Amino acid sequence: ETGVTQTPRHLVMGMTNKKSLKCEQHLGHNAMYWYKQSAKKPLELMFVYNFKEQTENNSVPSRFSPECPNSSHLFLHLHTLQPEDSALYLCASSGKRGLGETQYFGPGTRLLVL
């Protein structure tokens, strides 16, 4: 897990708050991903960045806004979230985007929206 770090590890926010999740990878990878993991549901891919360019937005509501300033850092900006957005948010990276690539995950941010 030390290859991909995420901060904060836990976050409680009200529906009117604005917060950001941060992900950093120290593996020299070029692709980064945001996933949402809710109870009893499969991992949901949210966003994909490849060489700093967003290549996929998986129909994610606009209250989630990703930012990738460089290949090592990925942010997820949150605003006016809903209680159903409470979940574990996982960041992952891979050497590049493509078939057969192993993804390396961070420990996740446990988000609770009140």
Smallest distance, another protein to C-beta of residue 16, A: 27
Q: What is the 3-state secondary structure (H, E, C) of 41-69?
A: CCCEEEEEEECCEEEEECCCCCCEEEEEE
List residues near another protein by CB under 8 A. 1, 4, 6, 31, 40-43, 45, 48, 55-56, 88, 90, 92, 97-108, 110
For another protein, give the closer residue by CB, 16 or 39. Answer: 39
Alpha carbons within 13 A on the beta-carbon side of 108: 13
Smallest distance, another protein to C-beta of residue 88, A: 7
